[in-house]
Chain A
Amino acid sequence: MNWTWFHKLGSPKWFYDISGRWLPWLSLAAALLIGVGTVWGLAFAPPDYQQGNSFRIIYIHVPAAILAQSCYVMLAVAGVVGLVWKMKLADVALQCAAPIGAWMTFVALLTGAVWGKPTWGAWWVWDARLTAMLILLFLYFGVIALGQSISNRDSAAKACAVLAIVGVINIPIIKYSVDWWNTLHQPATFKITEKPAMPAEMWVPLLIMVLGFYCFFAVSLLLRMRLEVLKRESRASWVKAEVERSL
């Protein structure tokens, strides 16, 4: 396998150039997918036989929850890369992704509560899935706080990477909580081995929304990372040239 792309990530300038080329396409894809998915999901998908229209919150809740977990896995991968290969960009990615992931977790919890009130009869229940998701939110807060509170950049990077890696244990717990314990939260509708417990006219817009959320995540992450790279490399000549050019 060709690993040159991986080693090139060690160069912030290369990252800045390549991400600048990807951004317009990713933004376009995010806007298109989320636009189509929202209209399709909220207006054209059929209502559910039991929940009626309130099930439509799935089109925000599920993508946000998937993103919240994927983002944390990404944090852990960035943490490993940062600790093992000492790559500076890994810390940039970790610090920039954490607030986005925290927001995604918050959106998933909030939409879940809004849906839970009419469906279950309660805003919040201390069941395993919900509690594990709340722990994920606190893990994100921990990573953000740790990164902000240590002034030495290298020590902060190391501490955040360790927390991100240790916290990744929570991800399988979130995923399998509904299978391991009796929970109020329903088990997964989509399984790799079975066909979805939902007709295509419902899951196609959901899939579009999930892809759209991934593109949106990539766009906001790249934007934040580019700014952070410029800040950290502010003494490099290419950054000075870049800033001069954009002024």
Chain B
Amino acid sequence: MNPLRKKRLFIILGILAGVGVAVGLALSALQQNINLFYTPTQIAAGEAPQDARIRAGGMVKEGSVSRSADSLDVQFVVTDYAQDVTIRYRGILPDLFREGQGIVALGRLNADGVLVADEVLAKHDENYMPPEVTKALKESGKQPEGAMPASAGGKMGGGQ
């Protein structure tokens, strides 16, 4: 490569490295604001603001969903397998909402530490499986990987 081209290449690489460092610093400064949701552990540690709309994310605890008989009110517990947050919601839940499923709820924390949500989103994980495989896994006594607390909880709680 001739010296002029080499010089131009180094200038470009220098600019790229500079911009990369700048963006990296900006993103690490914004770390908290880029996260879509707070985990139950963060909420328990008081990292989530009290008087603002926040998102809480985690797995719906098995056996915690209780629906009201005469309305769309539903209450459930979201967990990251370290801490729990109780969520109250009125409305239609997404198709994927079920116990053991990862969800993100948007709402305000009230004085009792209950999140009163006005939006609940289901979080899908990266595992895909044909239904026959899940059925076979269930029959052999093993849970399908997608609903397994260890793998999913690791992701949910491991954000920080």
Q: Which residues of A contact B (CB under 8 A)?
A: 46-51, 55, 58, 80, 83-85, 118-122, 125-128, 162, 165-166, 168-169, 173, 180-184, 186-189, 197-199, 201-202
Point out the residues of chain A lying under 8 angstroms from B12, CB to CB.
80, 83-84, 165
Contact yes or no, A47 B130, CB < 8 A: yes
List of B residues within 8 angstroms of A189 by Cβ: 126-128
Whether the Cβ atoms of A122 and B19 lie closer than 8 Å is no
Residue in chain B with minimal CB distance to A190:
B126
| B72 part of interface (Cβ distance < 8 Å) | no
0/1 string, B8-27, CB within 8 A of A gives 1: 11001001100110010001
Binding site for A on B (CB under 8 A): 5, 8-9, 12, 15-16, 19-20, 23, 27, 31, 34-39, 57, 93-97, 104, 119-134, 144-146, 155, 159
| Contact status of A46 and B131, CB under 8 A, knowing A125-B36, A182-B159, A183-B36 | yes
Q: Tell me the complex Cα distance, A149–B54, Å.
A: 42
- Pick the contact of A119: B93, B96, B126 (CB < 8 A): B96
The 10 closest A-B pairs by CB, nearest first: A121-B94, A46-B130, A182-B159, A49-B134, A198-B128, A127-B36, A182-B35, A189-B126, A197-B127, A49-B131
Q: Is the CB of B132 within 8 A of A184?
A: no
- A179 vs chain B, min Cβ distance (A): 9
Q: With the chains together, A128 CA to B127 CA distance in Å?
A: 20
A119 touching B124 by the CB < 8 A rule? yes
**Interface of chain B, helix or strand or loop or mixed?**
mixed
Chain A residues contacting B97 (CB-CB under 8 Å) are 121
Given contact pairs A182-B39, A184-B37, enumerate 13 new A-B contacts (beta carbons under 8 Å): A48-B129, A49-B144, A51-B96, A51-B124, A83-B12, A121-B121, A122-B121, A162-B15, A181-B31, A182-B37, A186-B125, A187-B125, A198-B127
Known: A80-B12, A84-B12. A120 touches B129 (CB 8 A): no
Residues of the A chain whose Cβ atoms lie less than 8 Å from the Cβ of B37 = 182, 184
How far does the alpha carbon of A186 sit from the alpha carbon of B121 in the complex, in Å? 13
Q: Are A118 and B128 within 8 A (Cβ)?
A: no
